[in-house]
Structure 1
Amino acid sequence: MDAGSPADLALFGGRPLFAQARATGQLANRDPERFFTLASGAFERRWLTNQGPLVQELEERLSRLHGTAHCIAFANACFALMLALRSVAKPGARKVILPSLTFRGLPHLIRWAGLEPDYCDVDPVRHTLAPGSLAERIGPDTAAVLAVDNVNALCDIDEIERIAAAAGVPVLLDCVYGVGGSHGAQPVGTRGLASVFSLHATKLINGFEGGYLTTDDEALAQDLRRQRNFGFAEDGTVRQVGLNAKLNELHAALALSNLPHLDSIMADNLRRFDAYRTGFAGIPWVSFADYSRSPGNYCLVLLEILPEAPYSRDELVRILRAENALVRPYYSPPLHRADALFRPADAPMAELPVSDRLSGRFIQMPVGDTMSTDDIAGLARLFALLDRHAPTLVDHLRSQAR
């Protein structure tokens, strides 16, 4: 796209900025030869699943990375979280408190675990579970607290654990975006009863698909190992209800091939993030989320559309997606509004003003190994065009919508 004229915009018939779509995930594949070597070994052994040697090695290395006694690998992070909730939920209680501004899949996992989501507001800077809102919501029917680390800030785990402990409620952490961070001297993955991570292709450690859980609780680790394998104990007897949630050797092979490059991947993410901040510095109506409490992996770039912007956040999403930049609104709508399908018709909707406000202000921008700094410069030129021609373009956009 020649960023000189509004007619050049793809939304109005121009050529898209990107011939090939630019995604919002990592998609890192740093050592394909190592992957093929590991995968070939799995084929030669004829041991492709059922806790093969590659899965065992991956668990050991991830346990060392996070500094925990146990790491249990799963077919995906959803299984890890769902089964962990079944294990730790306080008996007799049914509600799981979680932030409203987070991944829309989490309420489904809570329901699959036989529990009900209970939404809290978030901290306006961290975008994570607000301790004050948690203190207001927690009660006798709270089965667990699900705290979520965010890409721009880790949750306030000290306060969350203090409030939960006073109420006798267990804490689980969704640390999918917390890899590489720490709470003081403690690496992410060591707090709460357990922490869950993802190996999805879009995440920091690409295993095609998969997930894992870290914990120092021996009994919980053994329970989850049985649950992921139909409830089988080591002696082959069935001790409890379970399902097939095992990670296979090919997914473990890709994760192992990428794991040594974790620091390099994070460094490249920071380089791209800096390119965004530099390139967009001249656009007066955009900013970025506060990353001062970031875990340091910069695996998502959250562009903030300020209230004085001539465009709405959703109008900018339309423009960018037409340019083959597959951006998305960031956690919009928030869960307390998106979950209406599952809420009884007479149930009141929670009033969570911070979640409502933040959910309308951010765009999740393209990142990862398919995104170059030249690509980011192209997006910056696009936004400069949008700034120069704002009145004309806004009229075009809104006349199209009528």
Structure 2
Amino acid sequence: MMAAPSVAQRIPWFEPWLDEADVAAVSRVVRSGFVNEGPENRAFEEELKRFFGVPQAVTTPSCTTAIALSLMALGVGHGDTVLVPDTTFIGTASAVRLAGAEPILVDVDPHTFCMDPDDARRRARPTTRAIVPVHLNGRAADLAALRGVAAALGVPLVEDAAEALASRNRAGWLGTQSEAGCFSLAPTKIITAGQGGFVLTARQEVRDQLIRLRDHGRLSRASDRHPVTGFNFKVTDMQAALARSQWAKLPARIERSRQIDRRYREGLAGIPELAFPPRPTDGGYLMWPDFTSPRRDELAAYLAARGIALRPFWPALHQQPAYAAADEYPGATEASRRAGWLPCSPGITDEQLDTVIAAVRAFFGGRP
């Protein structure tokens, strides 16, 4: 058995990595005296448009609000239903309710953990007005099939790409292949603005409606006339400055994520009770290294006693009190029981990765 590490040696599941350049970026905005939403947001939106090759980008306080505002901008509201996968962070479903609609839960593919298009087709209702596929952990949902479902229903797709920043499929960047793609800059993402998110869209009218919804019903703060109802979902320039500073680190962070995943897969190969789902293909990457095991919860407790944190997958939405459903969702139920993420902070060292690998092997009875 391995001895428990000291507090200084504890290995978190994930923590953000901030440096002096990030401090300087935020300090610059504070010293300018303009801390509201303004030029830093506009500059970040321009960077996003250039990087992704899309006509429009709009910053938001989170991916949850990005999804909600996108649904509202596309006309979804009270009395409508929206298809969402049963395996996702609860914010996906909460965004639907924030828009005034009701989420309809759809089972997931047991290999990719993404929305099952056949189940989406079965569960659609006459009231369904949108589909929100989630690119879970950088793996692309089956957009081609889901686009067919959406077309048959006459409804838009809104991509939840909270965990797929700069991940790809064969067709291109995830989050750019629908009416709106929604992203997260939360502290557990590969880069962070503390909190924050953004929407990408090719449609000018969607962008304009997002702006109105974000800022009290107007397109410009130069006017005190508010033609439609809107809200206050703006992002401060301090957050945008931090996002821009972190953005410069994104290519290196993605490469490090690939290295972490590769080290775990090689170091933990050959353990019968531990499996690694397929990696994304066509330029995709895993934001967090995931695994499945029938002994996941035992493993989590064993590692926690040794100062190492892993994160189990979230409970399936139908298991959450706020979205409880009696229907059967076998793919999502299995993922909630067996799947988890190994430690993978951007700043994790190879020595720490080897400590995790040795502890996992010890738990399963293998030699470090």
TM-score scaled by length of structure 1: 0.85
Say whether the 8 Å CA contact 1:60–1:71 is kept in structure 2. yes
Residue in 1 that maps onto 2:148 = 162
Identify the residue that residue 399 of structure 1 maps to in structure 2. none
State how far apart, in whole Å, the 1-side matches of 2:78 and 2:196 are.
Answer: 31
Q: Pick the aligned partner of 1:228 from 214, 235, 239.
A: 214
Does 2:362 correspond to 1:385?
Answer: yes
Correspondence list, 1:95-134, <5 A = 95-134=81-120
Q: What is residue 299 of structure 1 aligned with on the other side?
A: 287
> In terms of Rg, which structure is larger?
1
Partner of 2:34: 47
Matches within 5 A, 1:316-355: 316-331=299-314, 333-338=315-320, 340-343=321-324, 349-355=326-332
- Percent pairwise identity: 26
Equivalent of residue 12 in structure 2, options 1, 23, 33: 23
Question: Matches of 1:370 and 1:194 in 2, distance apart?
Answer: 32
Comparing 228-237 and 211-220, the one that deviates more? 228-237
C-alpha distance after superposition, 1:336-386 (max 9, x if no partner):
122x3455xxxx612111111222111211102232121121122112222
Specify every segment of 5 or more residues in structure 2 that has no aligned partner in the other structure, as ranges: none
In the TM superposition, residue 298 of structure 1 has moved relative to its aligned partner by 2.5
Q: Quick check: 1:90–1:169 contact (8 Å CA) kept in 2?
A: no
Return the match for 1:207 from 193, 217, 224. 193
The one-character-per-residue Cα deviations of 1:286-343 (angstroms, maximum 9, x if unpaired) are 12121143753322011221x5xxxx22111112222222222112x211122x3455
Question: Is 2:129 the partner of 1:146?
Answer: no
The separation in 2 between residues aligned to 1:317 and 1:171, in whole angstroms, is 36
Give 2:319's aligned amino acid: R
Aligned to 1:81: 67
User: For the residues of structure 2 that align with 1:285 and 1:324, how far apart are their CA atoms?
Assistant: 22
Shift of 1:219: 0.8
The whole-number CA distance in structure 2 between the counterparts of 1:105 and 1:211 is 13
Q: Which residue of 2 aligns with 1:240?
A: 228
Structure 1 spans left out of the alignment, 5+ residues: 9-13, 391-402
- Matched residues, number: 365
CA separation in 2, counterparts of 1:117 and 1:176? 18
Over 3 Å counting, the alpha-carbon distance change for 1:75 and 1:20 in structure 2 is: farther
The 2-side partners of 1:233 and 1:179 are apart by 27
State the distance in 2 between where 1:387 and 1:315 align.
Answer: 10
Q: Which moved more, 1:60-69 or 1:78-87?
A: 78-87
Tell me which residue corresponds to 1:373. Answer: 350
Q: Distance in 1 between matches of 2:323 and 2:361?
A: 42
Q: Which moved more, 1:201-210 or 1:160-169?
A: 201-210
Deviations 1:59-82 (A, max 9, x none): 100111121111100122222111
Distance (whole Å) between structure 2 residues aligned to residue 171 and residue 278 of structure 1: 37
Instruction: Give the Cα separation in 2 of the matches to 1:152 and 1:288.
Output: 14
The residue aligned with 1:257 is 245
CA distance in 1, matches of 2:24, 2:366: 53
What is the TM-score with the length of structure 2 in the denominator? 0.92
Q: How far apart are 1:173 and its partner, in Å?
A: 0.6
State the 1:91 CA deviation.
6.5
